[in-house]
Structure 1
């Protein structure tokens, strides 16, 4: 009985020691959301490659950290209470897929439309390609159709 108990305790300790806390690529990708959610724009330089590409990219946006800083500034000034909550992280090879929920209250003009001081809550899916410890490419899809309805830009919420 003592031997069985010892074996179970050692197995449990080994399982805890080997518990997967996320690969290095997943950790880099989740720091992206921390930069926005915790207002830590300095993380952008640490996690985004100089040649980072945003797909689809807004017209005229530069590649690399400068482009992401423009997005960061626009979103955090338009939605000062912006939150991005990670819901799921899936990894395959050098790609990390993150499903998140974006929320915030519009306080300044957005897409040329004045604020109505309304909140939004939308889903987003991002695929980050990580190489050498930095994000080199991000494909993203956000549910802006729902968000624009919630903000009163497209009809009634």
Structure 2
């Protein structure tokens, strides 16, 4: 599961392939912390990342720590990007907890810090 999550972040964020969510997330995926409120299904995640790529074209995430136990993987990560409108470099940090079933991500909880200039 740790490799699955690492590969998911690499494709979904760093390689800017939002469609990977349609493969990696279950059809009934529940995102408890989607910016627009809790969402069911992978489509909201795809839309969120497409908007993020527009705002921060060079968006990149680094996994700092990862812990797996049972059906869950917890990740601490650092996000870096340049704001397309201002040209300012930003950085923010987060924790994400993923729950798995049948080798799909079925739930997500996330906490992010506010972006700050890097």
Q: Same fold (TM over 0.5)?
A: yes
Superposed counterparts of 1:17-36, under 5 Å? 25-34=1-10, 35-36=12-13
How many pairs does the alignment contain? 117
Are residues 38 and 94 of structure 1, via their aligned partners in 2, closer, same or farther at CA, if it must alter by over 3 Å?
same
- 1:117 is the counterpart of 2:87: yes
State the match for 1:127 in structure 2. 97
User: What is the TM-score when the length of structure 2 is the normalising length?
Assistant: 0.89
User: What is the TM-score when the length of structure 1 is the normalising length?
Assistant: 0.68
Larger relative helix fraction? 1
- For residues 47 and 86 of structure 1, the distance between their equivalents in structure 2, rounded to whole angstroms, comes to 18
- For residues 51 and 30 of structure 1, the distance between their equivalents in structure 2, rounded to whole angstroms, comes to 22
**Residue 42 of structure 2 aligns to a residue in which SS?**
helix
Larger relative strand fraction? 2
- Cα RMSD, aligned residues only: 1.8
Greater radius of gyration (CA): 1
**Structure 1 segments unaligned to the other structure (5+ residues):** 1-24, 108-114, 151-156
**Structure 2 segments unaligned to the other structure (5+ residues):** none
